[in-house]
């Protein structure tokens, strides 16, 4: 990454007697063409199989090497971030601070980090300023081209210099450790970079540290693997030629005998029979030929007819069903899962990073719903609406929905840990559950329609999710939902509650542990 920023960079008409087709002249030329095709087919199959295998192992080796480097870069950047005084770095805001002892101390540290491994090129810090990435402290000046002179493009980037078009991996580095997905090559080197957030004493992510690593050693290893693969491919081509020649000879030697025998039959000579020993297709063909010759000898006045035999074709009927506008009332269980604090996240994160984070969250939520036999009906902003028991019947839709609700909350919490999100960017979701009659079908226009569910049941499920905020819990279910569950459902009655935005009150059940947590927070 950093090296880029500092150095922009393809018939016979004689059909009265079909046996005449086997006359030596035309037959031989056809046989030669078919023999050549078979030889080329065997050669290409063997050659391509060898090439595909070699390419696969080369890809695996390259992937493993690059993944190892990515993990090394993330780990190094994470450790290096701990060495940087976040408060001191945060105080460097203007170019005049480049003359301070604090700036020099951090720049010296960047130099030490860059020199800690012979393959590290640069270490530097960056800051996200209102969606713009700026350099803070860059590596010390270095003679990159080895000409003995520090040229202007080898000087460190000044404090506040803008880094244009930052990649997604760099932006992720302001929140959690990350690294480039692919190497980058310019006139100077082939590199990959790792990033990690720098925190101040209060634990807030203030800036980012980046480390550029040269991949010359990896290129050397991959070049050696490619050369070995090409040598192996050449050997495979030779073996494929030998195999093609051998198998085409084995197949066409008996076919040549059959050709000569058929030529005799075409002339009325029925004395020659073929060797039909064996169990392969050629032997079966020889046996069929012998049967034909014996019958021709018994019925000389009949002329055999050879040619293509086409089997009768069965008439096929394609049933096409066109979607019709409208719907039907069905019993279903509705699950609504909403992400809290989305506006807060959208204010703190740049659009690219926000979209990536929300996509990671939705991927996890959809996996849980589908795992529990539910169907995602729609996404409304950061809310997911799922249906259990329709259109595919589900024996215990309520239990499946409750299991999914608990897993949705657990996966959301686990996602915070796996993404190593800072406390002010933590994701928190809540779930509402209700069951009852819904209008299920297609809505829209004849040109554009979609399948969905709607009705009071859906509206109540949405209100149940909103109720979680008022009760200080993350899961709320209606009395209608709970009354058909087993007694070990783990939910407790939170009383009859008025539904937000509706002139309706309903028994609400919540998770017992959530109530305890809410009480503890109130105390």
Tens digit of each residue's pLDDT (9 = 90 or more) over 492-507:
999 999 988 888 899 9
Q: Return the pLDDT at 151.
A: 66
Domain presence at residue 503 = yes
Q: What is the pLDDT of residues 316-348, one digit of tens each?
A: 333 333 444 567 788 999 999 999 888 888 888
Domain presence at residue 160 = yes
Per DSSP (E only), the strands in 345-459 are 375-380, 383-388, 428-444, 449-454
State the Cα–Cα distance between residues 460 and 20, nearest whole angstrom. Answer: 83
Do 478 and 409 belong to one domain?
yes
Q: Return the pLDDT at 275.
A: 64
Do 246 and 346 belong to one domain?
no
DSSP summary character for residue 174: T
Domain presence at residue 130 = yes
Q: Is 496 helix (H, G, I), strand (E, B) or coil?
A: strand
Do 77 and 196 belong to one domain?
yes
* For the chain, percent of residues with pLDDT exceeding 90: 37
Q: Residue 430 — very low, low, confident or very high, per pLDDT cuts 50/70/90?
A: very high
Q: Return the pLDDT at 101.
A: 93
What residue has token string 């020099």?
Answer: 104
Q: What is the pLDDT of residues 239-275, one digit of tens each?
A: 777 776 776 666 666 666 666 767 776 766 666 666 6
pTM: predicted TM-score of the whole model, two decimal places: 0.47
Contact 186, 25 (CB under 8 A): no
Do 33 and 178 belong to one domain?
yes
Do 241 and 361 belong to one domain?
no
Domain enclosing residue 366, as ranges: 326-522
Which position has the higher pLDDT, 10 or 106?
106
Q: What is the pLDDT of residues 228-240, one digit of tens each?
A: 777 777 777 777 7
Q: What is the pLDDT of residues 134-180, one digit of tens each?
A: 999 998 887 665 666 666 667 888 999 999 989 999 999 999 999 99
Per DSSP (E only), the strands in 108-177 are 120-129, 132-135
Do 67 and 173 belong to one domain?
yes
Strand partners, 162: 134
Pairing of strands 505-511, 190-199: unpaired
Overall domain count for the chain: 2
Q: What is the pLDDT of residues 35-71, one digit of tens each?
A: 666 667 767 776 777 777 777 777 787 788 888 889 9
- 370 has a pLDDT exceeding 70: yes
Which position has the higher pLDDT, 154 or 402?
402
- 95 has a pLDDT exceeding 80: yes
State the Cα–Cα distance between residues 78 and 305, nearest whole angstrom. Answer: 81
State the Cα–Cα distance between residues 305 and 421, nearest whole angstrom. Answer: 79
- 436 has a pLDDT exceeding 50: yes
Mean pLDDT of 407-420: 91
Residue 400: partners with Cβ closer than 8 Å, 6 or more residues away: 333, 372, 373, 374, 388, 394
Omega before 391 within 30 of 0, i.e. cis? yes
Helical axes 24-83 vs 101-115, angle rounded to 10°? 140
The mean predicted confidence, pLDDT, of the chain is 78
Contact 111, 140 (CB under 8 A): yes
Domain presence at residue 420 = yes
Do 250 and 362 belong to one domain?
no
Q: Give the domain CATH number at 76.
A: 3.30.450.20
Contact 421, 353 (CB under 8 A): no
Residue 286, token pair as written in the block: 């020889």
Q: Return the pLDDT at 211.
A: 94
What SS3 string covers 177-195? CEECCCCEECCCCEEEEEE
Domain presence at residue 18 = yes
* For the chain, percent of residues with pLDDT exceeding 70: 73
Q: Return the pLDDT at 9.
A: 39
Domain presence at residue 289 = no
State the Cα–Cα distance between residues 43 and 49, nearest whole angstrom. Answer: 10
Q: Give the domain CATH number at 445.
A: 3.30.70.1230
Do 243 and 335 belong to one domain?
no
Q: Return the pLDDT at 19.
A: 43
Q: Residue 27 — very low, low, confident or very high, per pLDDT cuts 50/70/90?
A: very low
Do 127 and 262 belong to one domain?
yes
Residues in the chain, overall count: 523
Domain presence at residue 296 = no
Mean pLDDT of 87-94: 92
Q: Residue 10 — very low, low, confident or very high, per pLDDT cuts 50/70/90?
A: very low
Domain presence at residue 231 = yes
Cα torsion at 342, 343, 344, 346 (round to 10°)? 90
Do 2 and 91 belong to one domain?
yes
- 23 has a pLDDT exceeding 50: no
Q: CA-CA distances (angstroms) from residue 263 to 186, 266, 484? A: 69, 5, 83
Q: Return the pLDDT at 215.
A: 82
Q: Residue 108 — very low, low, confident or very high, per pLDDT cuts 50/70/90?
A: very high
State the Cα–Cα distance between residues 32 and 256, nearest whole angstrom. Answer: 10
- 199 has a pLDDT exceeding 80: yes
Q: Return the pLDDT at 411.
A: 94
Do 227 and 333 belong to one domain?
no
Do 378 and 256 belong to one domain?
no
Q: Return the pLDDT at 264.
A: 72
Q: Is 257 exposed, middle or buried (0-12, 13-18, 19+ CB in 10 A)?
A: middle
Given 227, 246, 269, the domain boundary residue is 269
């Amino acid at each position: 990454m950093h090296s880029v920023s500092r150095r922009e960079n393809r018939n016979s008409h004689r059909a009265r007697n079909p046996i005449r087709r086997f006359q030596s002249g035309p037959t031989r030329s056809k046989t030669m063409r078919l023999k050549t095709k078979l030889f080329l087919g065997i050669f290409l199959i063997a050659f391509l199989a060898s090439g595909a295998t070699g390419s696969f192992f080369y890809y695996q080796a390259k992937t493993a090497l690059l993944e190892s480097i990515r993990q090394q870069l993330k780990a190094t950047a994470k450790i290096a971030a701990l060495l940087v005084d976040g408060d001191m770095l945060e105080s460097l805001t203007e170019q005049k601070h480049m003359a301070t002892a604090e700036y020099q101390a951090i720049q010296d540290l960047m130099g030490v980090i860059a020199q800690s491994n012979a393959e590290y090129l640069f270490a530097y810090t960056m800051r996200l300023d209102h969606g713009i990435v700026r350099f803070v402290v860059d590596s010390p000046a270095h003679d990159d081209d080895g000409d003995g002179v520090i040229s202007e493009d080898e000087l460190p980037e000044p404090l506040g210099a803008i880094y244009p078009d930052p990649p997604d991996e760099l932006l992720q580095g302001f929140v959690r450790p990350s690294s480039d997905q692919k190497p980058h090559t310019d006139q100077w080197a082939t590199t990959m970079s790792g990033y990690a957030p720098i925190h101040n004493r209060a634990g807030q992510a203030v800036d980012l540290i980046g480390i550029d690593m040269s991949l010359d050693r990896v290129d050397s290893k991959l070049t050696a693997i490619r050369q070995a693969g090409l040598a192996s491919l050449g050997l495979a081509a030779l073996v494929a030629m030998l195999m093609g020649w051998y198998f085409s000879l084995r197949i066409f030697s008996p076919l040549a005998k059959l050709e000569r025998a058929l030529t005799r039959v075409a002339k009325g000579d029925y004395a020659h029979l073929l060797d039909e020993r064996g169990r392969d297709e050629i032997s079966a063909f020889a046996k069929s030929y012998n049967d034909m010759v014996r019958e021709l000898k018994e019925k000389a006045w009949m002329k055999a007819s050879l040619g293509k035999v086409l089997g009768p074709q069965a008439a096929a009927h394609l049933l096409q069903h066109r979607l019709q506008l409208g719907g039907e009332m069905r019993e279903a269980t509705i699950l609504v899962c909403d992400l809290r604090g989305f506006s807060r996240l959208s204010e703190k994160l740049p659009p690219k990073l926000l979209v990536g984070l929300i996509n990671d969250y939705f991927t996890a939520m959809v996996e849980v719903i589908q795992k529990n036999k539910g169907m995602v009906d729609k996404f409304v902003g950061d809310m997911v609406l799922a249906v259990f028991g329709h259109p595919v019947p589900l024996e215990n839709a309520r239990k499946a929905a409750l299991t999914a609700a608990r897993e949705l909350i657990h996966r959301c919490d686990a996602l915070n840990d796996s993404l190593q999100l800072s406390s002010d960017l933590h994701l928190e979701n809540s779930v509402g559950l209700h069951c009852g009659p819904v209008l299920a079908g297609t809505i829209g226009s004849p040109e554009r329609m979609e399948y969905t569910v709607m009705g009071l049941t859906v509206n109540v499920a949405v209100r149940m999710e909103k109720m979680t905020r008022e009760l200080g819990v993350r899961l709320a279910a209606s009395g209608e939902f709970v009354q058909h569950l087993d007694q070990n459902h783990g939910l407790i009655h939170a009383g009859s509650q008025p539904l937000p935005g509706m002139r309706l009150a309903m028994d609400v059940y919540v998770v017992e542990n959530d109530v305890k947590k809410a009480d503890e927070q109130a105390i």
